[in-house]
Amino acid sequence: MNRSRIVDIQVHVVELPLRKTWQISLYAANRRAHAVVRLQTEDGIVGYGEAAPSPAFMGETGYTIETVLNRYLREAALGENLFDIARIHERMDSSIDGNSAAKAAIDIAVHDAMGKSLGLPVYRLLGGKVRPRMALSWVVGLQSFDQAVEEARRKVAEGYRVIKIKVGQALADDVRLIRTLREELGDAVPIRLDANQGFTPREALALLDQVRDCPVEAFEQPVRKWDLAGLRFVRERSGAVPIMADESASTLQDACNVLRNEGADLFNIKVGKVGGLYRACQIAALVEAAGLKATAGSNLEVSIGEAASVHFVASQKALSLPNDMLLGSALHSANLVSEPLSVIEGHVLCPERPGLGVDVDEGLFGHRS
Ligand SMILES: [Mg+2]
């Protein structure tokens, strides 16, 4: 432990192509810039972190992370002891506001190194394991009606426990897809809606009105992220459909404000969105204390970021809903690790090796194509 000072931090931006255009109500993309952090301690332990935010969702990209890390965050973390994670966050926050994805990439690398240094999987550092096996949800992006129905059907056959569909661009199309999927998939497969802020409060309610007879598991981020009054307006009128906050709960303080305003029944806690594992666990505790539930979404990180999410969900009681935390590897045609986490009948197991439990392929660094 006394040789656990951080002596080197590097960031590499790697652009990875997506298998097909990924579209949600906020944006469309064909590739993503992933920022990979490689951190080393004085006794030679190496930890890796990853963040892959989309510019329209978070105001950050792999390239802003590179600049912010090189100009501000490296200095905040260099020379600190790995195990002083609260102090590292304090120093990062006082060096630059916001930039949660950049901070998450460092936080994940610190946790990976802590685990390797102690010979323990990361979940052990977060409280231990409350669930060994985690159910996954599949997310159907905005695409043609026929493609969306075919993809949902195929993913249910593969074993995914929840089908989440992206809505929020054209209300009539959304209604048609929800009604068709309900008929195709039956009531045993819950459907979760995610509008990514695409509706006004009244449009969101109009959608729910038109699918009143279809069981909807949850309605994620129906309105603009800053519209907490609108979120509450929808929640008070959504009947049996629980409202989930995602973009509205982008930080620990945001999550607290959503709870104070009684704006959500459920939370989507993304490790890469909220500033890393340390912050994600704080939010999970807040959600647990409120007697509510959460899921872990994804910024489409590949297996380094995904492994961080898996350790998070394995260790946090509030994270009891099926998660789309493994979406990134499935949507990309390349990865950053030699052996991606595998999905077995719609579930993932928590890695047991020290640290995150994935082997990073450093040969990929420097590829910007
Ligand atoms: Mg979402």
CA 66 to ligand 1 centroid distance, Å: 25
CA 40 to ligand 1 centroid distance, Å: 33
Helix (H) or strand (E) holding 17, with range, is strand 6-23
pLDDT digits (tens, 9 = 90+) for 180-229: 999 999 988 999 999 999 999 999 999 999 999 998 999 999 999 999 99
CB neighbours of residue 202 within 10 Å = 13
Provide the residue count of the chain: 369
CA 349 to ligand 1 centroid distance, Å: 23
CA 220 to ligand 1 centroid distance, Å: 6
CA 8 to ligand 1 centroid distance, Å: 34
Residue ranges for the chain with pLDDT beneath 50: 369
CA 135 to ligand 1 centroid distance, Å: 17
CA 209 to ligand 1 centroid distance, Å: 21
CA 248 to ligand 1 centroid distance, Å: 10
Quick one: pLDDT at residue 364?
78
Residues 73 and 90 sit within 8 Å (Cβ to Cβ): no
- For the stretch 286-290, contacts whose Cβ atoms lie closer than 8 Å and that sit 24 or more positions apart, written own/partner, are 286/252, 286/255, 286/256, 286/259, 287/255, 287/318, 288/316, 288/317, 288/318, 290/259
Neighbours of ion ligand 1 (CB under 5 A): 194, 220, 246
Quick one: pLDDT at residue 362?
85
CA 81 to ligand 1 centroid distance, Å: 34
CA 130 to ligand 1 centroid distance, Å: 24
Quick one: pLDDT at residue 250?
97
Which one, of 271, 173, 261, lies nearest residue 225 by Cα? 261
Bridge partner list, 165? 140, 193
How far apart CA 295 and CA 288 sit, in angstroms, is 12
Which residue ranges form the domains of the chain, and what is each CATH number? 6-119 (3.30.390.10), 124-349 (3.20.20.120)
